[in-house]
Chain A
Amino acid sequence: QVQLQQSGAELAKPGSSVKISCKASGYTFTRYFISWIKQTTGQGLEYIGYIYAGSGRTNYNEKFKGKATLTVDNSSNTAFMQLNSLTPDDSAVYYCAREGTGSSYFDYWGQGVMVTVSS
């Protein structure tokens, strides 16, 4: 069965970076896009961007350009998102999600990673 297993919660200081992971199993990793989505109480669900695991091609929401960097390691079926120059506004739950074929909906989600930015 398809599973996306994300890394654990992060506590980070303002100005630092974190890198969270999303390990996929149960399907052919290189045939799908992995998207990343931010959830906060105030802003709800926000789309960060996607990476196509087959080629490494990325596309970012303008709002998150420079904030997030998406990469993949096909040898371990793992996608990564690095968040840079952290501020308290980056405190959120971050999900990875697989895009269903062709229509940019998200058919499988990771369990989420809580990132807390605090001094």
Chain B
Amino acid sequence: DIVLTQSPALAVSLGQRATISCRASQTVSISRYTLMHWYQQKPGQQPKLLIYRASNLESGIPARFSGSGSGTDFTLTINPVQADDIATYYCQQSRESPPTFGGGTKLELK
């Protein structure tokens, strides 16, 4: 299985930029597609899709969220961070079966 590695936590100040990283144990790009996706999860809630195929913003998600990367290294950026963004963020790959998730990065306030 492809292993996705995320830092456990990131502390940011409101109004600043947050950069959350995800590294894959092997490439998740195939042809012109990059099969990495990002989710937000708040306590007691289900995950919510933010970004699909590395850089595509899901409908209804604010433009302060963006995704980038290719191959094995990916980034979710939140700029500027708002109070409502305090949550845990997960990356997920679908390049190989089974789909796998990173361990999550908990975004905290400084």
Contact = CB atoms under 8 A, between A and B. Distances in A.
A and B together in one complex:
yes
Interface of A: 35, 44-47, 49, 59, 61-63, 95, 100, 103-112
Nearest to B93: A104
B47 A45 contact: yes
Contacts of B52: 100, 103, 105, 107
Given A44-B101, A44-B103, A44-B104, A103 B46 contact: no
A112 B92 contact: no
Interface residues of B, number: 23
A68 to B, nearest CB: 12
A104 B49 contact: no
A43 B21 CA distance: 19
Nearest to B51: A105
B93 to A, nearest CB: 9
Interface string B96-110: 011111111000000
Contacts of B35: 103-104
Nearest to A64: B98
B90 interface: yes
B48 A105 contact: no
B98 A45 contact: no
